[in-house]
Amino acid sequence: MRVLAIGTTGLNMRELAASLERVHGERGRGRLGVYFVEEELKREVDWVSFLDSDDYHWQERVWREAVARAVARVEEEAPDHAILFMNLPYFRKSRFFPAVDIAVVKAYRPDLVVTLMEEAHVVWRRIQLREGREKTGAALRLKDVFAWRTVSILLGDTIARAIGVHNIVTAVKHPAKTIYAMAVEGARPRFYLSFPISLVRGDPEARREIDGFRLEMHRRYHAFDPLTMDERVLKSAKRRGDVAVLEGPERWLLPQGLEPAVGDEPELYPMEIPADQVEEVEADIDNLIRFRDFRFILQSDAVAVYRPFMRRTLHRGVFSEIMYAVNTAHKRVFIYLPPEDRATGMDSPFDPSSVEETPGRFYEAIEKFASRFSVGR
């Protein structure tokens, strides 16, 4: 299996690579090779000069040559599985580059493209801290990071379509075994986990119950989880003068018992972001979250929905995901809707064949569906 993994600067690709290598050591067969295009670039050119150059054709050429050297290493070492990491695109002074040379990417013969994501504020802060140490001249606003990520996904789709493979978009805070299974093993089925978030953030009991569902699904299957990225905390960040302050514990990420492939460094928090930069993106955050979650649904084989009317409240995000899964993405949907969530006289708006009233029946229906897939978990 050959995987092309792309993403923006500020993603901790090395930590992800190390996590995937650990998983491979536990369950993989043969040798896994990991390669980094930026290593090849920095061996041949000064990094800051490369980023700052006005010679766009030179930038394209040295990037193309770096990719070619990395591909040559893969061919020479001939690992059983290979992951080629690259930052794509680069972004400097409001300009994206280079134009991707599909021919040099084809020479790698990738079986899959994986586009990596992480919370924009985490990437922004990492770049800010790195700039304080290395003085490369990087200067980004939070909105730049959101735009950069969107362009990276677009390029991933463009490359995948040009070479005839799939592009899986995933967050690096998924468990390493999940990313490894999807990328290296091609494991299926893949589930999207849909559950209340916004209206139960302040309800510890509801959060514990939902985290129990998430933990169960992650342990049993390969799942895309919307809370492997938590950017809605930007909207509720405390204001201190002209900065918005994020504390680490405010986030709702993976449940206890699961470790992300890439964690947040302690030095990131408390995170102070200029309030005007947060205000620039507030109107777009929900739209970007919806885009990401719908993409996860498209990449899944089915959607597992947990209590869409929890506390007898309509959770609009969950409802929209069910409608998208059924009517647009044409995915199987499994819904746990216990009797206590139904108001008196309320009929379920969902297809009765997709609804179960007990956890046991819910997981039983999911398992019956999963058993149809021949690829191991």
Asked if residue 338 has a cis previous peptide bond (ω within 30° of 0), the answer is: no
The pTM score is 0.94
User: pLDDT digit string (tens) for 225-281?
Assistant: 999 999 999 998 999 999 999 998 888 999 999 999 999 999 999 999 999 999 999
Q: Could you tell me the pLDDT band of residue 377, with boundaries at 50, 70 and 90?
A: very low
Cβ atoms of 262 and 10 within 8 Å: the answer is no
Residue-averaged pLDDT of the chain: 94
Assess whether pLDDT exceeds 80 at residue 112.
Answer: yes
User: pLDDT digit string (tens) for 144-200?
Assistant: 999 999 999 999 999 999 999 999 999 999 999 999 999 999 999 999 999 999 999
- Average pLDDT (303-318) is 94
Return the pLDDT at 222. 96
Assess whether pLDDT exceeds 50 at residue 83.
Answer: yes
- Average pLDDT (290-307) is 97
- In sequence order, the 6+-apart residues with CB closer than 8 A to the CB of 305 are 194, 195, 318, 321, 322, 333, 334, 335, 336
Assess whether pLDDT exceeds 70 at residue 347.
Answer: no
Among 42-46, 96-100, 347-351, the range scoring the smallest mean pLDDT is: 347-351
Assess whether pLDDT exceeds 90 at residue 349.
Answer: no
Return the pLDDT at 376. 45
Which domains does the chain carry?
A: 2-370 (3.40.50.300)
